[in-house]
Amino acid sequence: MGEQVYIRDVAQHVGEEITVKGWLYNKTDKGRLQFLMLRDGTGMIQGVAFQREISPAAFEAAQAITQESSVIATGTVRADARAPGGHELSLSDVQIVQLAEEYPITPKEHGIEFLMENRHLWLRSSQQWAVLRVRATVIAAIRDWLDDHGFLLVDAPILTPAACEGTTTLFQTDYFGENAYLTQSGQLYNEATIMAFGRTYCFGPTFRAEKSKTRRHLTEFWMVEPEMAYADLEECMRVEEQFVSYIVQRVLEQRAEELAILERDTAPLEAIVPPFPRMRYDDAIAFLQEQKDPAVSGIAWGEDLGAPHETTLGLQHNKPLFVHRYPTQCKAFYMEADPENAQLSLSVDMLAPEGYGEIIGGGQRTASLELLEQRIVEHNLPREAFAWYLDLRRYGSVPHSGFGLGVERTVAWVCGLHHIRQTIPFPRTLGRIYP
Ligand code: 4AD
Ligand code: MG
């Protein structure tokens, strides 16, 4: 048996005998030649078993092996431009670790519900493998950029006593006889931590009982939420565009192979560099109302943008678009009022290009105790649960801003996926909590 090598490293072992420990992805039977496509989690390589060159037992194993059987294969690495990945293994030994039963996911087409039901197995397919590797890089890029730009990671709780993003999408649970809710956002806690640390972020799963089935909504999704003391709306946008550009460029640099598997056109991603275009909500509405499609033009001033509006706006630019200063009435209670127009809030959403819709929501937060108290009443929120939050406006209140970026929406855009469900290992949606 040769030295165990990960498939991603085979290029450094040309001419050597190595051992790969993995699974059989698929197989082509050409009689005396068996072509085994092997995968080990780090990549794929084709192994060729030639009857004349290996022991009868090894050849029998190569003939008998089934899709997704676990296998230990030994062979000599050959550079071969025609082989997928540029290398091939001339096999000298094949040992089946476990002969897999008939595998439910075959190379033919399957329906999405069937694949979702078998998500625990579907993860092994090359496209899913590619998406989740991009996801890991998006997450690493998020952490690195924030850690390198003066943001301290300070985690927010998952179990909370009150709503942050409206009471209609709360998951309620019993907390020793009291009501508690799964967090919708760590933002309010970040507003406390910035008064201790200046710039902070929290990063974790967030929950929304979204009762509609859309391609952009999960009930459990990951959000990174940076928050900044002494930062206004302008500063918030500057940070967002630097941050998102870094994430995209990092994926281009480190995940070219995965983007190729996904057949993602990378040219639109290369264009993602600061600055990003900015548009006022008022102008966005005027633009939308001029469109032909009634699903788009029917929007009235004061309404929040929906998916068709975001798509239409996003398609006008080759970079993400900032839409800012939404009416107070369509945004969360904590938004700062625009000093130039009390009907508007200092809010900003970032809409991805290519029609992927909103990936970031954020803005400047109310610094004034009086205004915040008024908003809590207007939104019918339980004042007691927000007593601590009001305190932040009593003891050294400052202008501050922040935002939340949805990891799954970002991964869907970067990977060019129509639906968000493949961007998280085990998606939770309306009607699915299995596997
Ligand atoms: O716009 P949202 O609701 O903003 C907040 O929660 C703020 N408190 C964040 C902050 O300022 N700290 O959500 C932010 C982002 C959205 O732009 C979207 O990318 C993602 O979170 N998101 C979802 N992703 C998947 N499924 C859902 N149901 C989502 N809801 C929001
Ligand atoms: Mg939003």
Residue 268 dihedral angles phi and psi, to the nearest 5°: -65, -25
Q: Mean pLDDT over all residues of the chain?
A: 96
Determine the pLDDT at residue 166. Answer: 80
For the CA of 360, the closest atom of ligand 1 is 17
Q: 223 CB less than 6 Å from ligand 1?
A: yes
Give the whole-angstrom CA distance, residue 196 versus residue 332. 24
| Ligand 1 and 327: CB distance under 6 A | no
Label each residue of the chain as H, E or C: CCEECCHHHHHHHECCEEEEEEEEEEEEEECCEEEEEEECCCCEEEEEEEHHHCCHHHHHHHHHCCCCCEEEEEEEEEECCCCHHHEEEEEEEEEEEECCCCCCCCCCCCCHHHHHHCHHHHCCCHHHHHHHHHHHHHHHHHHHHHHHCCCEECCCCCEECCCCCCHHHCCEEEECCEEEEECCCCHHHHHHHHHHHCEEEEEEEEECCCCCCCCCCCCEEEEEEEEEECCCHHHHHHHHHHHHHHHHHHHHHHCHHHHHHCCCCCHHHHCCCCCCCEEEHHHHHHHHHCCCCHHHHCCCCCCCCCHHHHHHHHCCCCCCEEEECCEHHHCCCCECEECCEEEEECEEEEEECCCCEEEEEEEEECCCHHHHHHHHHHCCCCHHHHHHHHHCCCCCCCCEEEEEEEHHHHHHHHHCCCCHHHHCCCCCECCECCC
Q: Rounded to the nearest whole angstrom, what is the distance from the C-alpha of residue 19 to the centroid of ligand 1?
A: 46
Ligand 1, atom 17: nearest CA belongs to which residue?
Answer: 360
Of ligand 1's listed atoms, the one at least distance from the Cα of 227 is 12
- Of all protein residues, the one whose alpha carbon is nearest to atom 1 of ligand 1 is 361
Put residue 369 in one of left, alpha, beta given phi > 0 → left and psi -120 to 50 → alpha. alpha
Compute, in angstroms, the gap from residue 72 CA to the centroid of ligand 2: 49
The answer to whether 206 and 159 are in contact (CB under 8 A) is no
pLDDT (tens digit, 9 = 90+) per residue, 246-261?
Answer: 999 999 999 999 999 9
User: Is this prediction's pTM over 0.85?
Assistant: yes
The predicted-structure confidence for 106-161, as pLDDT tens digits, reads as follows 988 999 999 999 999 999 999 999 999 999 999 999 999 999 999 999 999 999 99
pLDDT category at 163 given cuts 50, 70, 90 is confident
Residue 77 confidence (pLDDT): 98
- Tell me, what's the pLDDT at 277? 98
CB 321 within 8 A of CB 314: yes
Distance (Å) from CA 344 to ligand 2 centroid: 16
pLDDT of residue 265: 98
Is residue 1 scored above 80 in pLDDT? Answer: no
Best substitution site from 223, 326, 401, 432 to test ligand 1's pocket, by max atoms within 8 Å of Cβ?
223
Question: CB of 359 closer than 6 A to ligand 1?
Answer: yes
Rounded to the nearest angstrom, the distance between the alpha carbon of 77 and the centre of ligand 1 is 47
Q: Give whole-number Cα distances, 379 to 22, 88, 167, 168, 188, in Å.
A: 56, 64, 9, 12, 16
Q: How many CB atoms lie within 10 A of CB 68?
A: 21
Res. 352 pLDDT band, cuts 50 70 90: very high
Would you tell me how many other CB atoms lie within 10 Å of the CB of residue 72?
Answer: 17
Identify the pLDDT of residue 168.
87
Cβ(240) to ligand 1 under 6 A? no
Ligand 1 centre from 217 Cα, in Å? 10
Q: Partners of 36 in the beta sheet?
A: 27, 47
164 has pLDDT over 90: no
Contacts of 161 (CB under 8 A, 6+ apart): 178, 179, 180, 181, 385
Q: 2-13 pLDDT, tens per residue?
A: 899 999 999 999
Binning pLDDT at 50, 70 and 90, where does residue 222 land?
Answer: very high
Of residues 201, 187, 223, 185, the one with CA closest to residue 153: 201
Rounded distance, CA 206 to CA 197, Å?
Answer: 23
pLDDT for 123 equals: 98
Tell me: the pLDDT tens digits for 232-250? 999 999 999 999 999 999 9
Residue with CA at minimum distance from ligand 1 atom 31:
406
> Atom 9 (ligand 1): residue with closest C-alpha?
404
> pLDDT band at residue 162, thresholds of 50, 70 and 90?
confident
